[in-house]
Amino acid sequence: QVQLVESGGGLVQAGGSLRLSCAASGSFFRLNRLNAWAWFRQAPGEQRELVAAITSGRSTNYADSMKGRFTISRDNAKNTVYLQMNSLKPEDTAVYYCAAGSVAGMYDVWGQGTQVTVSS
């Protein structure tokens, strides 16, 4: 089994920044099969939406509203994926989830989520 543990969420004022981390643990074999990673978020009463994604080849993809403000990155040595969030807005308030899978767009391992709250 692979486990994903998010951290770094919290309360921040509008315009501020946060960096989320997603650390993966598990067997070497199972970790090696993970070629695609992503951050999703879900606000109260809303559907879960993709925030950003990254592949093992460092290809990245962002939702339009996050482009230029959020940056996804990955540290292979630490089996950790990061989401740097700048210029945060109150509408960015949500639970942020880390996800991973063997193929981009097909994520079958999920973290428990971390709350991000942006005050106006």
Shortest CA distance to 15 belongs to which of 86, 70, 64? 86
Tell me the CA end-to-end span of the chain in Å, nearest whole number. Answer: 40
- Intervals of the chain under pLDDT 50: none
Residue indicated by tokens 């097909």: 106
**pLDDT number for residue 57:** 84
What is the token pair recorded at 71? 């940056």
Structure confidence by residue, pLDDT tens digits, 24-55: 999 888 888 899 999 999 999 999 999 999 99
